[in-house]
Amino acid sequence: MPSIAAGSPINEKIIDDHLAVQAIIRSYQIRGHHIANLDPLEIANSALIGKNKRAVIHNSYRFDEADMDRVFKLPSTTFIGEKEKALPLREILNRLEQAYCNNIGIEFMFINSLEQCNWIRQRIEPPNVGKMSNDQKRLILARLTRSAGFENFLAKKWSSEKRFGLEGCEILIPAMKQVIDVSTRLGVESIIMGMPHRGRLNVVANVCRKPLHQLFTQFAALEAEDDGSGDVKYHLGTYIERLNRVTNKNIRLAVCANPSHLEAVDPVVQGKCRAEQFYRGDNEGKKVMSLLLHGDAAFAGQGVVFETMHLSDLPAYTTHGTIHIVVNNQIGFTTDPRHSRSSAYCTDVARVVNAPIFHVNGDNPEAVMHVCNVAAEWRATFHKDVVIDIVSYRRNGHNEIDEPMFTQPLMYQKIHNTKPVLEKYADQLISEGVVTAAEAKDVKDKYEKICEDAYTQAKQETHIKFKDWLDSPWSGFFEGKDPLKMSPTGVVEETLVHIGKRFSSPPPNAAEFEIHKGLLRILKARMAMVENRQVDWALGEAMAFGSLLKEGIHVRLSGEDVERGTFSHRHHVLHHQKVDKATYCSLCHLYPDQAPYTVCNSSLSEYAVLGFEVGYSMTNPNALVLWEAQFGDFNNCAQCIIDQFICSGQAKWVRQSGLVLLLPHGMEGMGPEHSSARPERFLQMCADDPDYMPPESPDYEVRQLHDCNWIVANCSTPASYFHILRRQIALPFRKPLILMTPKSLLRHPEAKSSFDEMKDGSSFRRVIPDDGAASQDPKSVRKLSFCTGRVYYDLLKHRREKGLEKDIAIVRVEQISPFPYDLIKAEIEKYPNANIVWSQEEHKNSGYWGYVEPRFRTLLQNQKTVRVKPQSGNWFTKLFGREEKPVSDEAEPVPRTISYHGRATAAAPATGSKAAHNKELRNLLEEFCVL
């Protein structure tokens, strides 16, 4: 290959040679990671790229030895020359090998921004760019010593305990601390972290600096001194504010508690991070960031990773860049990578959001630190996601009592013969003269002494405290507050009118802001309702939101199509018909000093978006956070979030949430996937005892709410909806609310409420009694029907058509759980001669029957009033019609019972046939009128 000499004629050969050099530079940038020395065990990827690794890079280019010392001009797309503009080919290849094929492999050339690609090249390609000073090396050694020392101490003290240790990837702790150091230096003040069980105790101890005695106490079989069921130690979260001694800046660290369900915490962390950014006014993510840790198998295998990644650049969900660290131990429990993913790397999912991916050999601590520096700077510069893939191994089995040789014998033979990274790095620094052997031992001994002292202190503890592991403290919320005193939920009529009129008006600049004619009709109809002191569902919701905004409560409504509403009833965001993306939201302009209102259409995801809103709701109790399913049926796509976080989060982690789930529900002939929010599942997870009837007291309602794990309701009126939303904030504590919401009732002429039911002095009615003819003469009523939700209007209409208003009383149960024993008892006593039934439109094995039946039974068994059993004569009397005087004047008392009225059992929630649906409905209504 000839080089270019000054003044020499340009010919095609010279041009081709220079183009070839440019092509091979680009080839290293694109493919160098494939042949990088990433695996400490040297067993990875051999099957994926074949035997001739260099062919991946050099492709069809061939070089003679004579070409190696010829000088070539460097293109503008590389920085291997630093200030040099040309280099010999041998040096070009050496520098490319060092940058891209040593212990760091980088995937970044798929990023569609030249600026960002050049930014990475500048921090990777120059010679010695990752060189560490002696002080930095000593810091790495000290941190690595603490990481390994912690695992060794636990192994010594609790050898048979599951702890999911970090052995094999001890470098994670120095890596995380390096990310925190750089991020803190660049202005970050708070970091929200989420991680699986692997290495969690070490992170809590050495990154968050949780007092070690509190951590060691978790290994003791002690009872808790506070309420809750608790969780295993490697699921617990924590929160701490401390001084970063490297940067001399304060940093707030939070590790979110999470279940064993891998990656489920990812969207929760993102929601918590976004909320904290919102409350701090951190609109660019410069002060608050998220840090997520992953396992290799889970990062590739769990779909929630992809769902969460796709929130990263959505305006209402972005956290302005997350740093992802993958603890890649090259195995998933017992499954090899070849059988756990179809891609070359476990991190390939990150390519979809143009996140650079840094693969690094976990046994090269300095390479890991360099990658962490670059990743933290990337996030601070571009506010985009970045991935660090620490390729390491797992020295023990999946847990400490698991035998890995059963399934990976050759891998674990290699691991058993591999020296731990701490020993390797200590030997390296000793040989370099950075530390002496005595100094390295002294660091190790000092940390072991710290652990021993904490162990001694832990032995003095008599109880564990769940509150010591709170990941989201709400400073000042609970203090000085009566835990059983609820604020009123009614609102002065002036406020209702103001919000109603503003919500029913077109934009102030209506002459310029052209909205759809159909929306003008909707706004006009709303205004007419306000003038008539009436509200429908959309107005009731807007008044609940608006009144809370007036009181300084931030409201956030999220979910698929929530801005308009699945059923085109909400219309919180009006769109200009002639100007693209020009919008107006009246609820954002109610009062000059109101709290912010956020309404945002989400991505088509339930799992990640609901998890995000869970995290958002954890951050501040003075916010109403709502997630609405497109149809209630789809909530089971987020079943893990519902089961592991919402239902049991407070019991396990002492973490409250006031999140509201809006689940459109109703059997209206729309088929098996557009009919049921599966209320039976939520009710089955309610933690109240069906055999226990709480004693009545003045604070009965609030006490029940205080003791429950969540609230399940199905409101039948806009006023009920209005009050139950406001009650979420009026309570002196926070509980999740699972709310079955209507579809056809959104426009039902009878499903309207008066201002009188919402103004000051009114409140949420857990039970709505019958106020018709039946209530005027209750002793003559022959059937007392309890129901909930939209079926009430079907029953009401049919009762009216049959003229049975005096014979059948219909009572609506608006709040199903906690079960309103006190109010239901009063209704039962009111109708002493009526047969009691529970009416529902759902199938018998669905809906509410499975929950309410045992509670009705408990109530009826505890009730003093019983029905009189009529005296029946013997067979002789019946045969000849002769009445005999009874032996006693006292009739035999029998407890009252409740019977079921509704559809029969079925596997599917609803039929897909409209004709079959109508037939079922006719049968249900006809049966209802049988006395």
Concatenated DSSP letters for 122-147? Answer: HHHSSTTTTPPPHHHHHHHHHHHHHH
Report the alpha-carbon angle 247-251-254, nearest 5.
Answer: 140
Residue 887 has pLDDT above 90, yes or no: no
Share of the chain above pLDDT 90, in %: 75
Instruction: State residue 877's pLDDT score.
Output: 43
Residue 881 has pLDDT above 60, yes or no: no
pTM of the model: 0.92
Q: 864: domain CATH number?
A: 3.40.50.11610
Confidence of residue 229 (pLDDT cuts 50, 70, 90): low
* pLDDT: which is higher, 877 or 403: 403
118 located within any domain: no
Residues 737 and 860 in one domain: no
The string of pLDDT tens digits covering residues 667-725 is: 999 999 999 999 999 999 999 999 999 999 999 999 999 999 999 999 999 999 999 99
Domain boundary among 464, 484, 518: 464
Residues 304 and 359 in one domain: yes
Alpha-carbon separation of residue 487 from 156, 700, 820 (angstroms): 54, 15, 19
Residues 745 and 647 in one domain: yes
Instruction: State residue 879's pLDDT score.
Output: 44
Please state, as a whole number, how many other Cβ atoms lie within 10 Å of the Cβ of residue 479: 7
The string of pLDDT tens digits covering residues 332-387 is: 777 777 778 888 899 999 999 999 999 999 999 999 999 999 999 999 999 999 99
Task: Let me know: does 679 contact 816? Beta carbons within 8 Å.
Answer: yes
Residue 924 has pLDDT above 60, yes or no: yes
Residues 542 and 456 in one domain: no
Is the bond preceding residue 818 a cis peptide, omega within 30 degrees?
yes
Residues 143 and 62 in one domain: no
Instruction: State residue 13's pLDDT score.
Output: 78
Residue 766 has pLDDT above 90, yes or no: yes
Residues 519 and 422 in one domain: no
Q: Give the domain range for residue 81.
A: 12-102
DSSP letter at 491 equals B
Report the alpha-carbon angle 235-239-245, nearest 5.
Answer: 120
- Nearest one of 632, 558, 563 to 602, comparing CA atoms: 558
Residue 194 has pLDDT above 80, yes or no: yes
Instruction: State residue 755's pLDDT score.
Output: 98
Task: Let me know: does 788 contact 842? Beta carbons within 8 Å.
Answer: no
Residues 748 and 848 in one domain: no
As a whole number, mean pLDDT of residues 181-188 equals 97
The string of pLDDT tens digits covering residues 275-307 is: 999 999 999 999 999 999 999 999 999 999 999
Residues 787 and 676 in one domain: no
The string of pLDDT tens digits covering residues 537-561 is: 999 999 999 999 999 999 999 999 9
83 located within any domain: yes
Residues 420 and 550 in one domain: no
618 located within any domain: yes
Instruction: For the chain, report the end-to-end CA distance as a whole number of angstroms.
Output: 102
120 located within any domain: no
Token pair listed for 92: 């070009």
Confidence of residue 888 (pLDDT cuts 50, 70, 90): very low
Task: Let me know: does 156 contact 414? Beta carbons within 8 Å.
Answer: no
Instruction: State residue 9's pLDDT score.
Output: 56
Confidence of residue 868 (pLDDT cuts 50, 70, 90): low
922 located within any domain: yes
As a whole number, mean pLDDT of residues 163-187 equals 93
Query: Rounded to an integer, what distance in angstroms lies between the CA atom of residue 186 and that of residue 721?
Result: 46
124 located within any domain: no
Instruction: State residue 217's pLDDT score.
Output: 86
Confidence of residue 1 (pLDDT cuts 50, 70, 90): very low
Domain boundary among 464, 485, 511: 464
Helices (H) and strands (E) counted in the chain, each on its own, are 31, 28
Residues 736 and 781 in one domain: no
792 located within any domain: yes
Instruction: State residue 470's pLDDT score.
Output: 81
Q: Tell me the pairing of strands 190-194 and 249-255.
A: parallel
As a whole number, mean pLDDT of residues 748-776 equals 97
Query: Rounded to an integer, what distance in angstroms lies between the CA atom of residue 160 and that of residue 90?
Result: 55
Residue 472 has pLDDT above 90, yes or no: no
Domain boundary among 448, 464, 480: 464
User: In angstroms, how far apart are the furthest CA atoms of the chain?
Assistant: 137
The string of pLDDT tens digits covering residues 476-525 is: 888 888 889 999 999 999 999 999 999 999 999 877 899 999 999 999 99
Query: Rounded to an integer, what distance in angstroms lies between the CA atom of residue 576 and that of residue 514?
Result: 5
Instruction: State residue 45's pLDDT score.
Output: 56
Given CA atoms 893, 895, 901, 906 in this order, what sign does their dihedral have? negative
Q: 524: domain CATH number?
A: 3.40.50.12470
473 located within any domain: no
Instruction: State residue 899's pLDDT score.
Output: 97
Please report which helix (H) or strand (E) contains residue 784, including its range.
strand 783-787
**Number of domains into which the chain is organized:** 4
Residues 722 and 590 in one domain: yes
φ and ψ of 378, to 5 deg:
-60, -50
Instruction: State residue 127's pLDDT score.
Output: 93
Q: 443: domain CATH number?
A: 3.40.50.970
φ and ψ of 391, to 5 deg:
-80, 120
Whole-number average pLDDT of the chain? 91
For the chain, state the CA radius of gyration.
34
Confidence of residue 396 (pLDDT cuts 50, 70, 90): confident
Instruction: State residue 875's pLDDT score.
Output: 41
Q: 26: domain CATH number?
A: 1.10.287.1150
Task: Let me know: does 615 contact 191? Beta carbons within 8 Å.
Answer: no
Query: Rounded to an integer, what distance in angstroms lies between the CA atom of residue 371 and that of residue 390?
Result: 10
Residue 6 has pLDDT above 60, yes or no: no
Residues 83 and 209 in one domain: no
Confidence of residue 51 (pLDDT cuts 50, 70, 90): low
Confidence of residue 880 (pLDDT cuts 50, 70, 90): very low
* Long-range own/partner contacts, residues 686-690 (CB < 8 A, 24 or more apart): 686/710, 686/712, 686/817, 686/818, 686/851, 687/651, 688/817, 688/818, 688/819, 690/851, 690/854, 690/855, 690/858
